Chain A
Amino acid sequence: MEPLSKQILNYNGANPFHEVQVKTYGEEKLLSEFFPTSVFLSLLNEQHEVLIGTRGSGKTAILRMLSYSCLRKVQNPEVKEFVKQHRFIGFYIPLHIEWMKSLPQDPSKATEYFQFAFNCKAAQSLIDEIKVLIRDLAHTAEKRLEMEGRVLTRMAKLWLNMDPQSFAVLEDISYEIECRFNNQQPWRDKDDNSLPIFAKPILAPILSVLPYIARDLGIDPQKTHWLACVDEAEFLEEIYIKCFNTFMRSDKRPIVLKLATMPYKYSTRETLIPGIMAESNGNDFYFRPIDLAWDSTDSINLTDHLANVRLKRNHLFDDENITLDNFIGKIGADDPKDYFRLEIAAEEATDAAILEGILKSLSPKRRENYEKEKEKGGDEKNLSQAYFKRYSPVYYVRRIREELRGNRSVGWFSGPAMIRRVADGNPRRFISMMRELFESARKTELTTKEQHRVVTDFADREYPRAEGLPEYGRLLKGILDTLGELMSERVHGKEMVDGGIGFSVHSGLLQNKVIRSALEQGVAYSYLFVDGGSLLEGFTEKSDFRTAHLSAVKYWLPMRKGQRLLLKSPHSKQQLANLARSAPATTRESNTILGVLQLSLFEDET
């Protein structure tokens, strides 16, 4: 079947992949693009959860979709049932950086003001959702007015201590809250005994009205859970995290907290009560990683859905079912071997020829081992398959890269599976790549060679952007460069080895706060990946790292783990501990640290 991308050749309209963020999407656009992954559906529960997601992983989309106004439109039987029963009513509370920075300079003395400001924000968000809820519950204008009047009365009395007659609609309550927030000067903790109502512990004012509101709306307070969806919590100072821990530690149902942050930013389990910690093992809350593996069913469905919705947006296609596969087109079973065979002469691309090539590329010792195993008289087929499986991914990239000599172009980094691999399960990275592919497809046929060109250009452009990451970007980029170069040397050396992109990090390096922070940042922005345990609990020398597939494109590396490698520095733990104590402020400082580090990769014997 001809790829659908051919149909957009010479198309002059807007690129539907231009927008990469959902932050300020209108509700309709957000809904059309949203795909209810299993992670999303599993968040509809009664447990406080801290969502851990890298930049661009879809935290905002998930939390916005959990809000009642969006959730009610999700076309999923399970969700529809929840909505019908009013099991979960979510309200979305983003913590924008400028709002966080408008809080007092010394956070340790301003928890009361933070609570006040946060509760004002939360109350406004709740009002927005209640307005929608009332529209759904009351089917006549009279009924709506009556219901709104009852809710308004509760809020006016309990929150604002004002005569309900002063307000006509819920919007007026919201406006009054905004005014109170604007007119309230920050104060230091315990400066004043007559605190505003909203200065109570976080979400307490909301908790105080919910039983009444539930009754006013005619919903069962025992069955309904109110999801407070707090976004961008990576900007929270530690003292404010303690406010949330305190909330989660004490059972505050029917409010359930869903708080999204970036990896390694939820920095404390302490509560506001000294010595009392919030437990992340489910007693108080759970950590929930939300990033998707590139080859997971969720990721495949999500990327197909995004391709389908975006490509139909400009009325480009009538076809009901556009997938990444039928837009890009694929070779054979979309397996690396299929793309290898497209580039290499047929006689060199048979399984037997590939195995022969593998054996020729191995070191004499490894070849000898193979011959010895063979002579032992075991199952030769199994032995060959084992070698084939282990070394063919390395052999392919070595062999294809050789083809590049003499200005020949190849179509290696191409095909739907490769595009998903390079996106690494990150929707934003996927959309960015699709933007480039779309641009190309309207100018020329999206052949495998053209896809390869687009993907390598994308990697060449995206990879160096690591250095522009805040705080540790330059240092991280240096570490990534070192890793890429050292891995490339191994993979493309004279003798073929079991190369890949997996590695672990020596404990000495991890003990240095600056280096560890740079690695954490790499994970937070999807330049590095790490095993699930290390994502939530922090790095150890047993942590399984890998570089992003973006780096694998840049350095022509097989996108597999390979033999375990250890990233090390020749310096002692003591020397490393003293090497860098604060984040390097400039390129020069980063280069100095990298120069001193003398990073190298060793085959890990452990």
Chain B
Amino acid sequence: MKLNGLKSIDFKQWNLEAAGSKQSIKRLFFVVSGYESRSTYWTQKVYESFSPSENNVWNSLGFTDQKDHLHRPSNDAFYNNKQIDIRDFPVDDDVGVGLYVRNVIEKAVKKHPNAQIEVHVDYSSMPRIWYCWLIGEIESVIRKTDRVYFWYSAGIYEGIEYPTAGFSDFSLFSGKPSLNPKNRTHIFGLGFDRIRASAIYRVLDPKNLVCFLADPGIRHDYVKRVHSDNRDLLAVARLVFTAPICDFNLAFGRICQITREFSFLGDVILVPDGPKPLVLAASLVPEFLCKAGIVSLHVRRKKTENSGSVNVAPAGEIYGLSVSGSL
């Protein structure tokens, strides 16, 4: 994972400039038809300027399950009206999604060997296993002159579910732990799921706990709520730091810096949670720092046949990041 030329992107400015930029850029769009109402928000904002053409190719990814949940039918209708085909994948099929996206990009690179390619991924409604995996996949198939953009529409959570987590939900996303670390530091990302965070804490039983949360966050009251919901964990943390949701580059740099510092003491176990940009940032740290003993543990969000899905409506803000390819 190189993350060459990592930049935070101001969506409004990009949208303004890109709409008037040279037509020779080939753009590939990967969006999601999920059950959240924010699934189509980013597309609505950019579709007019980048309607399907030889230069603008749109792809939509859907989930094979939960097809009738919440806004999924209307989101499907939205993309169908725009003649954007929806390709369904099981929620846990990160490899399948990766292969599909890779394949589309490789074909485009082959077809336009001399053109600059931009890949745009709206990961607002993606499961974490998809978007954390995708960035590395895309980075590795595009050239240094091409760029990939990841876009996130901030959301307003409608309803509270308080999911929990168990040992079986944990998986190692990236990095490799040491055999016998002399010390271990756990870095927890915190969000609204206080029960889940507590369950993760009870499974991991960390000694050296470091926590981070989004601040500035999507809304000021969200930051307060994260503080209040996670007061037990924050009270026992050795260190608490903030990472801005609006500036991926800064957030990623900060998490990397703290991780690197604690890695001199022993292993560092990142457990990302909270808003997606911070989950993404924390998940990429082990591959980026490429040091033995730095790992990212993902905790799967449990879904059972009876558990409801929670709608997330668009809050209005869109945050972006961009990296260039490594080929």
Residues of A bordering B, CB below 8 Å: 21, 23-24, 55, 93-94, 96-99, 101-102, 117, 120-121, 124-125, 128, 177-178, 181-182, 234-235, 465, 467-474, 525, 582-589, 592
Closest residue on chain A to residue B299 by CB atoms: A470
State the Cβ distance, B127 to closest chain A Cβ, in Å. Answer: 15
Identify the stretch in B118-126, B140-148, B198-206, B210-218 within 8 Å (CB) of chain A at 4 or more residues: B198-206
- Within the complex, which residue of B183, B302, B308 is in contact with A588, where a contact is CB–CB below 8 Å? B308
Number of A-B contacts (CB under 8 A): 124
- Is the pair B184, A587 in contact by a Cβ cutoff of 8 Å? no
A469→B164 CA distance, assembly (Å): 8
Is B327 interfacial (CB 8 A cutoff)?
Answer: no
Q: For B269, what are the chain A residues with a Cβ–Cβ distance below 8 Å?
A: 98
Give 7 pairs: A residue, B residue, CB < 8 Å, sorted on A: A23-B207, A24-B184, A182-B176, A583-B166, A585-B307, A586-B302, A588-B308
- Within the complex, which residue of A470, A472, A474, A585 is in contact with B203, where a contact is CB–CB below 8 Å? A470
- Is the pair A473, B170 in contact by a Cβ cutoff of 8 Å? no
- Is the pair A471, B177 in contact by a Cβ cutoff of 8 Å? no
- Within the complex, which residue of A94, A98, A465 is in contact with B297, where a contact is CB–CB below 8 Å? A98
A583→B304 CA distance, assembly (Å): 9
State the Cβ distance, A184 to closest chain B Cβ, in Å. Answer: 10
Closest residue on chain B to residue A469 by CB atoms: B202
- Is the pair A584, B304 in contact by a Cβ cutoff of 8 Å? yes
Is B180 interfacial (CB 8 A cutoff)?
Answer: yes
- Within the complex, which residue of B166, B207, B307, B308 is in contact with A470, where a contact is CB–CB below 8 Å? B166
Q: For A468, what are the chain B residues with a Cβ–Cβ distance below 8 Å?
A: 164, 194-195, 197-199, 201-202, 232
**B contact residues, total (Cβ < 8 Å):** 44
State the Cβ distance, B161 to closest chain A Cβ, in Å. Answer: 5
Q: For B179, what are the chain A residues with a Cβ–Cβ distance below 8 Å?
A: 99, 117, 120-121, 124, 177-178, 181
- Is the pair A101, B195 in contact by a Cβ cutoff of 8 Å? no
- Is the pair A24, B199 in contact by a Cβ cutoff of 8 Å? no
- Within the complex, which residue of B167, B207, B295, B308 is in contact with A471, where a contact is CB–CB below 8 Å? B167
Residues of B141-190 contacting chain A, CB below 8 A? 160-167, 170-172, 176-181, 183-184
Asked if A582 meets B304 with Cβ closer than 8 Å, knowing A98-B295, A473-B199, the reply is yes
Max chain A Cβ within 10 angstroms of own Cβ: one of B180, B302, B308:
B180
Closest residue on chain A to residue B265 by CB atoms: A24
A103→B2 CA distance, assembly (Å): 26
Asked if A55 meets B205 with Cβ closer than 8 Å, knowing A101-B171, A125-B180, A584-B304, the reply is yes
State the Cβ distance, B289 to closest chain A Cβ, in Å. Answer: 15
- Is the pair B304, A470 in contact by a Cβ cutoff of 8 Å? no
Q: For A128, what are the chain B residues with a Cβ–Cβ distance below 8 Å?
A: 180
Q: For A98, what are the chain B residues with a Cβ–Cβ distance below 8 Å?
A: 172, 177, 267, 269, 295, 297
- Within the complex, which residue of A102, A465, A525, A587 is in contact with B162, where a contact is CB–CB below 8 Å? A587
A195→B76 CA distance, assembly (Å): 51
Is B13 interfacial (CB 8 A cutoff)?
Answer: no
A36→B114 CA distance, assembly (Å): 74
A461→B183 CA distance, assembly (Å): 29
Q: For A235, what are the chain B residues with a Cβ–Cβ distance below 8 Å?
A: 167
- Is the pair B304, A589 in contact by a Cβ cutoff of 8 Å? yes
Q: For B21, what are the chain A residues with a Cβ–Cβ distance below 8 Å?
A: none
A469→B194 CA distance, assembly (Å): 11
- Is the pair A586, B207 in contact by a Cβ cutoff of 8 Å? no
The 4 closest A-B pairs by CB, nearest first: A468-B198, A471-B166, A585-B302, A587-B162
Q: For B183, what are the chain A residues with a Cβ–Cβ distance below 8 Å?
A: 24
Closest residue on chain A to residue B198 by CB atoms: A468
Known: A94-B180, A97-B170, A469-B202; 15 extra A-B contacts, CB below 8 A, are: A97-B204, A98-B267, A98-B297, A101-B297, A102-B295, A117-B179, A121-B179, A128-B180, A178-B179, A468-B197, A468-B202, A471-B164, A473-B195, A584-B304, A589-B307
- Within the complex, which residue of B198, B203, B267 is in contact with A465, where a contact is CB–CB below 8 Å? B198
Asked if A23 meets B292 with Cβ closer than 8 Å, knowing A473-B199, A589-B304, A589-B307, the reply is no
Q: For A588, what are the chain B residues with a Cβ–Cβ distance below 8 Å?
A: 161, 307-308
Q: For B167, what are the chain A residues with a Cβ–Cβ distance below 8 Å?
A: 97, 234-235, 470-471
Closest residue on chain B to residue A21 by CB atoms: B207
A55→B204 CA distance, assembly (Å): 11
- Is the pair B232, A465 in contact by a Cβ cutoff of 8 Å? yes
- Is the pair B177, A23 in contact by a Cβ cutoff of 8 Å? no
Closest residue on chain A to residue B178 by CB atoms: A178
A471→B300 CA distance, assembly (Å): 12
State the Cβ distance, A107 to closest chain B Cβ, in Å. Answer: 11
Is B303 interfacial (CB 8 A cutoff)?
Answer: yes
State the Cβ distance, A265 to closest chain B Cβ, in Å. Answer: 9
Max chain B Cβ within 10 angstroms of own Cβ: one of A21, A182, A586:
A586
A181→B180 CA distance, assembly (Å): 11
A102→B297 CA distance, assembly (Å): 10
State the Cβ distance, A482 to closest chain B Cβ, in Å. Answer: 19
- Is the pair A102, B176 in contact by a Cβ cutoff of 8 Å? yes
- Is the pair B195, A102 in contact by a Cβ cutoff of 8 Å? no
- Is the pair A96, B177 in contact by a Cβ cutoff of 8 Å? yes
- Is the pair A96, B307 in contact by a Cβ cutoff of 8 Å? no
State the Cβ distance, B68 to closest chain A Cβ, in Å. Answer: 19
- Is the pair B180, A587 in contact by a Cβ cutoff of 8 Å? no
Q: For B181, what are the chain A residues with a Cβ–Cβ distance below 8 Å?
A: 96
Is B306 interfacial (CB 8 A cutoff)?
Answer: yes
- Is the pair A467, B171 in contact by a Cβ cutoff of 8 Å? no
- Is the pair A589, B306 in contact by a Cβ cutoff of 8 Å? yes
State the Cβ distance, A404 to closest chain B Cβ, in Å. Answer: 27
State the Cβ distance, B209 to closest chain A Cβ, in Å. Answer: 10
A588→B163 CA distance, assembly (Å): 9
A565→B267 CA distance, assembly (Å): 49
Is B242 interfacial (CB 8 A cutoff)?
Answer: no
Asked if A585 meets B177 with Cβ closer than 8 Å, knowing A55-B202, A97-B204, the reply is no
- Is the pair B199, A592 in contact by a Cβ cutoff of 8 Å? no
Q: For A582, what are the chain B residues with a Cβ–Cβ distance below 8 Å?
A: 304
- Is the pair A585, B163 in contact by a Cβ cutoff of 8 Å? yes
Q: For A124, what are the chain B residues with a Cβ–Cβ distance below 8 Å?
A: 179-180
- Within the complex, which residue of A93, A182, A470 is in contact with B165, where a contact is CB–CB below 8 Å? A470
Q: For B178, what are the chain A residues with a Cβ–Cβ distance below 8 Å?
A: 178
Q: For A234, what are the chain B residues with a Cβ–Cβ distance below 8 Å?
A: 167
Is B8 interfacial (CB 8 A cutoff)?
Answer: no
State the Cβ distance, A16 to closest chain B Cβ, in Å. Answer: 16
Asked if A97 meets B302 with Cβ closer than 8 Å, knowing A120-B179, A474-B162, the reply is no
Max chain A Cβ within 10 angstroms of own Cβ: one of B184, B195, B297:
B195
A99→B269 CA distance, assembly (Å): 11
Q: For A583, what are the chain B residues with a Cβ–Cβ distance below 8 Å?
A: 164, 166, 302
A177→B179 CA distance, assembly (Å): 9
A465→B202 CA distance, assembly (Å): 10
Closest residue on chain A to residue B200 by CB atoms: A470
State the Cβ distance, B66 to closest chain A Cβ, in Å. Answer: 14
Closest residue on chain A to residue B233 by CB atoms: A468
State the Cβ distance, B108 to closest chain A Cβ, in Å. Answer: 32
State the Cβ distance, A305 to closest chain B Cβ, in Å. Answer: 21
A518→B311 CA distance, assembly (Å): 29
Asked if A473 meets B164 with Cβ closer than 8 Å, knowing A120-B179, A177-B179, the reply is yes
Is B208 interfacial (CB 8 A cutoff)?
Answer: yes
- Is the pair A471, B198 in contact by a Cβ cutoff of 8 Å? no
Q: For B208, what are the chain A residues with a Cβ–Cβ distance below 8 Å?
A: 24
Closest residue on chain A to residue B172 by CB atoms: A101
Closest residue on chain B to residue A98 by CB atoms: B177
State the Cβ distance, A128 to closest chain B Cβ, in Å. Answer: 8
